[in-house]
Structure 1
């Protein structure tokens, strides 16, 4: 019996070719991310300096990425500080060439968005509709119609490379199954089957995720390859209920089963009002949109901004409602911050609309209840007022796959 320790010339050559291809793929990803992450469009020389690759290597890789529509060159700039002589050709993410579809189902709305590699929304549809107690099949058909209309508005030549759906509840990401959405009244739903007709021609796998997780991702990464500050925070997404997510180093902490972050169901008072989740005294019963409007004496159909207007006008009942919601948020978040040591809180959804009104009370309660507040002051940040931030996050995560593996779309 013989043992051949040397693999032979043919195998050595094949292994070398494999390593070379892997190195090229890694360098394509490195160059792509370097360009997308830059605060101002970098030149080839800037990319070479940032990556420690040779200028000739960077130039060759950039040529491939530009030809493949991942990057594009913009108008050259001449000279400038540290740039005498020949003009540099800045590089940016290609606009309108590659995009992903982000979808969202909320208790009060449906949304569809097409987002490109630059983070630009190419087309979108947002419909306000009461879906509490609705049939999943009906809502999904309507969302599929919105998705089809958005896709029809894609620029000519735009290639859709991914699709994602944000849902307000417990999601099994691996199977794409919504396990439970108490405020919708949905249990055990596989939404991908209801959207096959709208997405069938694209041959895309629909990625399903929790709405708050995806909204938090969009706050941490406002465009593919780009980071926002802070990168460590607790995110609250407010609508009828309150979703939550925890982000550390820009990554959403989903927990063992993907169900982490349900801050809306942290108990404020075990003897408090019943919650649709089956428990009592949950945070969303004090700081959810409907709870705040009811406490302020407003109709649940009140338009956005009406609560803020009442508070700014000095309405005592509205002011008390905001203070009560802020106190409840502070109590719930105080426990979260003590456990996780992440003292920055980001308010999104309807909480962002009244964030400036809530912040003083929330920060005051956190200052009293967080053990480390004497050394690191907890603070509240406010996310952009966007009812469909989860849809954006779903699209951005799909585009992140392209950023990590640009060679896959170059066809080589």
Structure 2
């Protein structure tokens, strides 16, 4: 006679075995059932049952049999490229982005549109994001994809359900509630995360992350943030606010910041600060996607300021070089503190600072070497990210990661609806 907990334990064991088999398929694909049994320690019968269940869920698919060895040729299995996919959304200063990634982590749809910055209420921004989500959802449906979940990247600190995003002028906003009401429903709940954290995860899933060791990823658009990855997992801190690099004070007597402090790194090395020093004024411009989606005319086209800054740096413009020198030195001060506190193996520059890295990294590297390099024995390896649009890509990847970690989650949510 079984104990009262017996059936529950049996269900839990099946779910764990399913996740174990899927994790190994994801890691070793294409892989035969016999090899999966060796890698997982499960019996061939159990592995075959799990593979059949995953195939029924549309999460894995069988490849052509591979001849060789004795007996019937084995048919390898791999994670399926469809129909299940994840939707990533990003709301940032001056633009909105959307990205659809399938379970093989291939980008299937990517779209960025401009948005107004001045006078934009949170409700208006979320409504524009919902319009973009609906547009991309229709594109995904036409491509034969089923969006199982949505993660939204925002440039702010997330405390429970509340988001504090000074650059968006959001103060303790219940963003998840706004988004859940506005964005088309999914089997999996909508989640909201910090854009720098998601950009760091994008480096792990789509970039050089697996070979970086423990690393700090610097994310920079208008503001500056950092994601900290330790042993292949994101370090969030006690309250989820780890990595607010942009609000590390690097110039105590510097200009005031929207966060309430003075001399924050964003005021020295953020996009607006660099454009000001470089003397770059970006003209207003409309965007065809923005007009289609019914958003207001943007203050500037997405990326226009950064593109002009890079153009002037390549031309050797004195003021642009002064801006890059200021950014490099400011980042150097902040990253010395990061290196001494966390001792990462690598520091990765993403976003804006990946684009201007040729002009800033000499200053950053010199600061890292002078600011405690002898104490640590070596300075972190300084690298430039090759992952474009990391935050929205990481947002879509987070949905994929949720599905791969718990493949029955979609089915459970569908039954609960």
TM tier, smaller: 0.7 to 0.9
- Aligned counterparts, 1:267-278, within 5 A: 267-278=249-260
Q: Is this contact kept in 2: 1:144–1:197, CA < 8 A?
A: no
The aligned counterpart of 1:6 is none
Match of 1:62 in 2: 51
Q: How far 1:199 moved relative to its partner?
A: 3.3
Report the Cα distance in structure 2 between the residues aligned to 1:362 and 1:94, rounded to whole angstroms.
42
What is the root-mean-square deviation in Å for CA atoms of aligned residues?
A: 2.6
- Give the drift of 1:26: 1.0
Structure 1 unaligned runs (5+)? 1-8
Residues 123 and 150 in structure 1, CA contact (< 8 A), matched pair in contact too:
yes
When residues 334 and 280 of structure 1 are mapped into structure 2, their CA distance, relative to the original with a 3 A threshold, is same
Q: How does 1:214-229 map to 2 (within 5 A)?
A: 214-222=198-206, 228-229=210-211
SS of alignment partner, residue 268 of structure 1: coil
1:146 to 125, 128, 132: 132
1:385 CA drift (Å): 4.7
Q: Give the CA deviation at 1:340.
A: 1.4
Residue 227 (structure 2) pairs with residue 245 (structure 1): yes
Task: Tell me by how many angstroms 1:304 deviates.
Answer: 4.0
The answer to whether the Cα contact below 8 Å between 2:66 and 2:73 also exists between their aligned partners in 1 is yes
Aligned residue pair count:
392
Per-residue deviation, residues 252-305 of structure 1 (Å, max 9, x unmatched): 221221112111111111111222222111111121112222222322454543
Match of 2:295 in 1: none
Match of 2:154 in 1: 167
Query: 2:285 — aligned with what?
Result: none
Residue 353 of structure 1: aligned partner: 355
How many Å separate the matches in 2 of 1:260 and 1:133?
Answer: 29
- Listed one character per residue, the Cα deviations across residues 131-178 of structure 1 (whole Å, up to 9, x for unaligned) are 255211111111000001111122466433221111111212x32x21
Q: State the distance in 1 between where 2:171 and 2:242 align.
A: 18
- Give the Cα separation in 2 of the matches to 1:77 and 1:349: 43
**Are 1:147 and 1:198, in contact at CA under 8 Å, matched by a contact in 2?**
no
Distance 2:235 2:404 in 1: 21
Cα pair 1:164 1:395 within 8 Å, conserved: yes
Query: Alpha-carbon deviation of 1:30?
Result: 0.6
Task: Using structure 2 for the length normalisation, give the TM-score.
Answer: 0.85
1:111 aligns with 2:97: yes
Q: Which secondary structure state, in structure 2, belongs to the residue aligned with residue 261 of structure 1?
A: coil
> Contact 2:199 / 2:391 at 8 angstroms: preserved in 1?
yes
**Pick from 195, 216, 238: which aligns with 1:211?**
195
Specify every segment of 5 or more residues in structure 2 that has no aligned partner in the other structure, as ranges: 283-299
Shift of 1:109: 0.8
Asked if structure 1 preserves the Cα contact closer than 8 Å seen for 2:85 and 2:101, the reply is: yes
* 1:47, distance to aligned residue in structure 2 (A): 1.9
Q: In structure 1, what is the Cα distance between the partners aligned to 2:266 and 2:7?
A: 57
Displacement of 1:53: 2.1
- Work out the CA distance in 2 between the residues paired with 1:329 and 1:133: 31
Task: Indicate how the Cα distance of structure 1 residues 317 and 84 shifts in structure 2: closer, same or farther if over 3 A, else same.
Answer: farther
What SS is found at the alignment partner of 1:195? Answer: helix
Report the counterpart of residue 286 of structure 2 in structure 1: none
Asked if the contact 2:149/2:187 (under 8 Å) is kept, the reply is: no
SS at match of 1:221: helix
Counterparts of 1:279 and 1:16 in 2: how far apart (Å)?
A: 56
Q: How far 1:113 moved relative to its partner?
A: 2.0
Q: Residue 313 of structure 2: SS of its match in structure 1?
A: helix
What is the correspondence of 1:168-183 to structure 2 with a 5 Å cutoff? 168-172=155-159, 174-175=160-161, 177-178=162-163, 180-183=164-167
CA contact (8 A) 1:133 1:185 kept: no
Q: Which residue of structure 2 lines up, in the alignment, with residue 392 of structure 1?
A: 393
Looking at structure 1, the residues matched to 31 and 176 of structure 2 have their Cα atoms a distance apart, in angstroms, of 40
1:266 aligns with 2:253: no
Q: Which of 317, 325, 328 is residue 327 of structure 2 equivalent to?
A: 325
Once the two structures are superposed, the pairs formed by residues 8-27 of structure 1 within 5 Å of their partners are 9=1, 11-12=2-3, 15-27=5-17
Tell me the distance in 2 between the aligned counterparts of 1:228 and 1:194: 35
Is 2:50 the counterpart of 1:41? no
